[in-house]
Structure 1
């Protein structure tokens, strides 16, 4: 199940890396580079009950991330994990006492970060299993972390949008993903009525990945509902 994560990190490269890792896991990401942006995104997401966790850097250009921690503590059940280069024990203890669920000192591995997220959710009774990130079905091999797609051993180049669409189907391989889910996750919630985008990009994916694009065996249509990637277990 997809969760929405607010990522507050002013380092552009790290923010991009973390955002991509979270998206590979199937999560929606709201990314902020400043305290002001984080406050705005948090307020909007909480208003629609669409925020499941906050990853919070401390050293932001317009203030300290601990200010946002204090503001969000009034929201019960919202996990918050601090990610910071500050490693002094006293500071870590103070933030944990102030309500942070966890504290990771930079640099940290992506695997550890993702595990800490799952632990934070599990402590609130929300089980989130590791996402399916590599799949082989019918000669098609998709490795999401490596951004690599092959067909019968031959590497296939996909555009960024084509890859995001395929990745969304991979994460629920064998299950139908509705038109609205695909549009929201790949293009954004403001595009949920633009079904012509799906038809166009699904046609492009089939042209690159199917033996017979007109008779697809991998990227299947569920009429009136959505699309699904063929079940790798069949």
Structure 2
């Protein structure tokens, strides 16, 4: 079973995504509020197939988190899919994201991205 880590501060999105991803056969770890400097250690422990990361978090910036992931040799290859309600495609890809999904997105779009990474 593939593990997905979700960092999303919106409780409704967390609930919906957890249900969707588990239905599709993924193991899901959810973090609603996490300090930016704790993400690297969490990823080293979780060792997910992918990280689904919201750009705008109450306690930080997804882009800042992404940049720190890319700078850490132990987790720099972690697959990161960024999400936001604003089109931040270029900013996220420039910062090192593997993909960007504009909210609201179709569940199939997310599932297809995640399943492609399992092959």
Taking structure 1 as the reference length, the TM-score comes to 0.46
Structure 2 counterpart of 1:223: none
Distance 2:108 2:37 in 1: 27
Larger Rg: 1
Question: Aligned pair in 2 of structure 1 residues 42, 76: CA closer, same or farther (>3 Å)?
Answer: closer
Deviations 1:82-122 (A, max 9, x none): 011011xxx42122021100000000111111011223x1x
Count residues with an aligned counterpart.
116
Structure 1 counterpart of 2:114: 117
In structure 1, the gaps of 5 or more residues are 128-234
Distance 2:25 2:37 in 1: 24
Which one scores higher on RCO, CA 8 angstroms, separation ≥ 6? 2
Structure 1 counterpart of 2:4: 5
**RMSD over aligned Cα, in angstroms?**
1.9
Deviations 1:102-158 (A, max 9, x none): 000000111111011223x1xxxx41xxxxxxxxxxxxxxxxxxxxxxxxxxxxxxx
Question: How far does residue 43 in structure 1 lie from its aligned partner after superposition?
Answer: 1.5
In structure 2, the gaps of 5 or more residues are none
Question: How far does residue 53 in structure 1 lie from its aligned partner after superposition?
Answer: 0.6
Contact 1:35/1:64 (<8 A) preserved: no
Say if 2:44 is the partner of 1:46. yes
Taking structure 2 as the reference length, the TM-score comes to 0.86
Say if 2:77 is the partner of 1:77. yes
Deviations 1:176-217 (A, max 9, x none): xxxxxxxxxxxxxxxxxxxxxxxxxxxxxxxxxxxxxxxxxx
Distance 2:102 2:22 in 1: 22
Structure 2 counterpart of 1:25: 24
Question: Aligned pair in 2 of structure 1 residues 41, 66: CA closer, same or farther (>3 Å)?
Answer: closer
Question: How far does residue 18 in structure 1 lie from its aligned partner after superposition?
Answer: 0.2
Structure 1 counterpart of 2:60: 63
